[in-house]
Amino acid sequence: MRLTTLQKFLWAAVAVALVAVGAVFLLVDRSPEPIAQAAFRPTFSLPDAGGRLRTPADFEGKHLLVFFGFTNCPDICPTTLAEVAQVMDDLGDQAGKVQPLFISIDPERDREMGLAEYTEAFHPSILGLAGDAAQTRAAADSFRIYYEREANLEALDVYAMSHSPGLYLISPEGDWLGQFTYGTPASEIVADLQARL
Amino acid sequence: MKRIFATLALIAAAGPALACETVTVGPLEVSQAWSRASIGTARPGVVYLTIRNSGTADDALMSITTPAADMPMLHQTVMTDGVASMPHAMEVPVPAEGQVALEPGGYHAMLMELTQVLEEGETFPVTLTFRDAGKVTIPVTIQNIGASEPTCPSPDE
Ligand SMILES: [Cu+2]
């Protein structure tokens, strides 16, 4: 059977589409799994804006409220960071028992653009962490969160990342306590924290 | 009448910038346009607003322009299996006898390549182009960097 140029093109298009569908299934597969009952202790080892390497051990005795994001994210990252700020204000005297962390998934650019000035604009208590590519991937894997540079916007010369936008709560002992999905009202997070502190 | 006074009071409070303005073009009414203060100009800004369509035909927001940014775009944040991504929106549908909001976590106008620092309390104009209704310009109120909803009341209130 001889194929015309158009037919070849169409078959190529079908192949591309099949690969794309396959890729979507792979992505779906990588979404966070339900958390098992066994102790789950996500960890990280990442420098803060001053270059000091931070691990969960640095925050002993505190609950960690962890958000993965990037400072070039104009829509949902500010919304979540503003919520964290609200939570910290509403906790009042108990705020010292909670450490909010902003882990950059675009660390090189975020360091260049100023990580600390960004997190401080929302709340002085939020600590920004930005490592190298391997440290960042290791932290994300440990939290079972997903991030990737968005290819669909690259063609338009726009740089963006897709990522899991939840807030993760870690106990002072380092155990995973749960996640607040994007859009959880600050009042709900405060109530949950107050019941634990 | 009460509404007019409320509007006048807001305008007076904001000075000549005409914050909280509601504009109309054809059957469309655009209101509650707001943005967040920026740190410098390196990071993209964002614009949110509400569009109401009192007409009997669907329309769509096709593009935006503003002197505040060289490359404004329409985006939609979508959540798929817990992962947020932000595809380019070719258009934002404005249903007949309905409304659509550009709001955090959904449709938004993204301001790439800011030409100016967005200072809290100031305003800047954005021109919206609709497929059928045409163009209209609205002043956008710059709120705090941590704002998550408009401070301007809905035109009904
Ligand atoms: Cu966007």
Calculate helix-pair angle for A76-91, A186-196, nearest 10 degrees.
40
Q: Which CATH class is domain A46-196?
A: alpha beta
The answer, for A82 touching chain B at a CB cutoff of 8 Å, is: yes
**Cβ(A44)–Cβ(A103) under 8 Å?**
yes
The answer, for B1 touching chain A at a CB cutoff of 8 Å, is: no
Q: Which of A76, A78, A152 sits opposite B36 (nearest CB)?
A: A78
The answer, for A31 touching chain B at a CB cutoff of 8 Å, is: yes
Q: pLDDT value at position B82?
A: 85
- Domain extents in chain A: 1-32, 46-196
CB–CB of A79 and B46 under 8 A? no
User: Which of A24, A26, A33, A75 to probe the B interface (max B CBs under 10 A)?
Assistant: A75
The answer, for A119 touching chain B at a CB cutoff of 8 Å, is: no
pLDDT tens digits along A142-161: 999 889 887 665 555 556 78
Average pLDDT, chain A: 84
CA dihedral B128, A160, B122, B105 (to 10 degrees): 70
Domains annotated for chain B, with CATH where assigned, are 2-143 (2.60.40.1890)
A51: region left, alpha or beta (phi > 0 left; psi from -120 to 50 alpha) = left
pLDDT tens digits along A93-139: 999 999 999 999 999 999 999 999 999 999 999 999 999 999 999 99
Binding residues of A for Cu cation: 73, 77, 163
**Spans of chain B, pLDDT less than 70:** 1-18
Q: Which of B45, B84, B111 sits opposite A76 (nearest CB)?
A: B84
Q: pLDDT value at position B87?
A: 85
Burial group, residue B138, by CB count within 10 angstroms (0-12, 13-18, 19+): buried
CB–CB of B104 and A76 under 8 A? yes
Q: pLDDT value at position A32?
A: 45
pLDDT at A17 over 60: no
Reported pTM: 0.80
Please state, in angstroms and rounded to a whole number, the distance separating the CA atoms of residues B44 and A33.
Answer: 33
